[in-house]
Structures are given as structure tokens and as C-alpha cells.
Amino acid sequence: MKLQDLKIIVTAPPAPGWGGRYWILVKLTTDDGITGWGECYASTVGPEAMRAVIADVFARHMEGENPENIELMFRRAYSAGFTQRPDPTVMGAFSGLEIACWDILGKARDRPVWALLGGRVNERVRTYSYLYPLPRHDTAAFWTAPEMAAEAAEDCLRRGYTAVKFDPAGPYTIRGGHMPAMGDIAQSVAFCKAVRAAVGDRADLLFGTHGQFSVAGAIRLGRAIAPYDPLWFEEPIPPDDAGGMARVAQAVGIPVATGERLTTKAEFAPLLRAGAAAILQPALGRAGGIWEARKIAAMAEVYSAQIAPHLYAGPVEWAANIHLSVAIPNLLMAETIETDYHDALIKGAITVEEGFVAAPQAPGLGIEVDEALACAHPYAGTGLHLEMQEAPCNYAQGNAFQGGAPPEPR
């Protein structure tokens, strides 16, 4: 069995676009006709440039290879160009292709992917959701409205979720860590107060920041929200400062979670060594794929850290996350996004029931991608999957985060 053909689809989820502006899906086919699907969560370059990277990684390191040889193909991609260091674009391309290899292997052996990773540890995977606007909410106003967040949290409770995430601190700037405005701190406290009042002790609060603060700023904000006992303080400073992350964790007392922007064990290991993170959040379409994420989870075991796979992408990465989650003993929970497009694209193969996803039983990733639907929604924009603003924090008029799928730049 050899890898033979590659197809790349860049599909754009319809409005409101939860999960980003576009998703990059890859389809691999072997010489004996077995197909596998993967998803590349990489957005440092535009989707057309990313097509070329994916095609090059496949042709250079994978085409003609047995899909079983995942470790060999990883070493080729990781070492390409005499580098042997993490490259988010190359590893994003490889990650999606690697996921597709596991889908192929599971189908060839008539077993779910988790069975090839050491077997089932968890019969069900606990999931969490971001707080998204309800149909009656004004979407533009939602991101700065604690009372709407509380209503969305109550809706999540009714659907069985036991953890909800929100990130009201804004803004997300290209300028690195900054000191939060007093208004941002006050707004964050108001959100925590309202959501905690809505869920009581029935759900955990997950506070996100996307790495926007300086160490001192993160400590100020973290101490302000600590009375509401969030389960985690997500990426409080830029992700490559393990020492600073450790200082935040020690000063604030809220468990730090991070990892969505990191790739390979080489970038996760310093966090563990520094005692910087109690919870790691690999995005499998970027972190190096399923096998590399399994290694990251094994490293985390030694440091008593848990895994909460990240998802701000499409349902193929979601499926990969679920299989990893089933197979590891140090799972905390996995992120989920429930939209009609996520569901339709994999024909309802993953369902969240009372806040959990059952271990898949079908071969491979256990999904069937609606290829025609994906191709019917091509991405025609010019923006990246997610983008940060160039303007700095506004200390006078306030800051308003517009959600995870901002409008196209003009």
C-alpha cells in the first residue's frame, strides 16, 4: 500500500463562520484505492500559498510511501531544509496529511484510529463549547454583553455541557503582550460574575485570552477573575514565553492552559519543564498530527498535566481530536463546535450528547466527508483563517472583540 494521490479543498463555512474563515481539507488516496481525510490548521500564509506548501510536503516526503511509516515521514518533514526545528506552516501541512494517513490505516485494518493508538481508555469524551450568540442575540453586541453570555451559558447547560469558554478581555493585537485597560479588567470580572451566577457549580468556567497580555498584565487580570474559580486561564501571555507563563501561573493560582499555536513536542516540552501549564491544548492540524500529539500527551503524563485538544477549525480535525482523546489517560476535555456546516460536512458522524462524544466505532476517523458540499463552498476571500488587529489596545474608548470569525479586511 502506497500513498498515490492528493486532493486539497479549501472550504468556507457559511455565516456566521464559527471555526474560522476557511478550512483546509486534504484527501489522500493509496495505490489500492483507500482514501483518507485530514485537515491542516495552518494560517501563517494564505490558502493558495498553503496549497503549494501542502503539495510540496506530500510530493517531497510522502508520495509513494507506505502510510504506516508515519514516524519516518514526520522526520523527513521536520528535518526538511536542514532545519530539524518546528515550522508552523510546514508542520501544519504535514499534520493534515498525517491525519489522513491514520484514516487510511484504520480503514485498511477495519478499526477506529483510537484502536491503533494503544486502544480505548475513555468510553466517552467530555466536551466544552465557546459561548456563541443565541438566535435572539445581537451578534455585534454579544461579545461585550455579560448578560447575553450568561444566557448562552444557560443554553449550554441545557444541552448537557459541563464547561463553557469565553474571552471578553480583548483586543487581539499584533503588538505582543500589553497591559489590560481597567475597562477590560472590569468587563472580564463582569463576565465571570454573570456566567458563574448562571451555571453555579454545574459547569466550569474557561477564561480565554489568546496570549494578548504582558506577564504583569496577565497577573493583574488573573487575580481579578480568580474569585470566580475558572478551571483555566488560557494562554495569558504570548505562547513562546514558558518562563513568563510559569510566573503567571504561580502568581495567579488559576491553572494555565496553552498550546493551540504551538507545534510539535519541541515547543510543548519547555512549558512542562518550566511548570508553566497544567493543561496542554494541541491543535492536531498544527501540532504535528495524531502521533505527535500522542507523544505530547505522554510527556504531559510525567508532569501531571492534562490534555484538552483545541478546535477552531472544521470537523475533520475534530474527528482526529476525538480519537486522540479516547486513547489517552490524561484527558481533561475536548473543544467542540456545533454548527450546521460542521454537521453536514461529515454527514452527522460526530454528535455531542449531554456534553459528551462517544468513542467512535467506525473504521478510520469514522467520518464520511461530503466532498461535493465542501467544494460547493470555496473560499473567495483574501484574509487569513484568523487575524489580529494592528491597532493597539484602546485605553480611552474601550475594546470590543468581534468573535472568532471577524469580517474580511477591506
For 304-319, write each residue's pLDDT tens digit. Answer: 999 999 999 999 999 9
- The full set of domains in the chain, from first to last, is 3-110 (3.30.390.10), 115-365 (3.20.20.120)
- pLDDT for 403 equals 62
Name the H helices within 303-386: 315-327, 340-345, 371-376
The backbone torsions φ and ψ at residue 135, rounded to the nearest 5 degrees and listed phi first, read -55, -30
Instruction: Indicate the average pLDDT of the chain.
Output: 96
How far is the C-alpha of 132 from the C-alpha of 152, rounded, in Å? Answer: 7
Convert 261-281 to b/e letters by CB count within 10 Å (16 or more is b). Answer: bbbbbebbbbbbebbbbbbbb
- pLDDT for 42 equals 82
pLDDT per residue as tens digits for the range 70-124: 999 999 999 999 999 999 999 999 999 999 999 999 999 999 999 999 999 999 9
- pLDDT for 405 equals 55
Contact assessment for residue 105 and residue 320, using Cβ atoms and an 8 Å cutoff: no
Site of grid cell 484568523: 386
Those residues of the chain that have pLDDT short of 50 are 407, 409-410
- pLDDT for 221 equals 98
C-alpha torsion angle, residues 121, 281, 102, 295 (rounded to 10)? -70
How far is the C-alpha of 320 from the C-alpha of 323, rounded, in Å? Answer: 5
Instruction: Kindly report whether the global pTM for this prediction surpasses the value 0.85.
Output: yes
Site of grid cell 480583548: 170
Strand partners, 206: 165, 232
From the list 4, 15, 6, the residue with the least C-alpha distance to 377 is 15
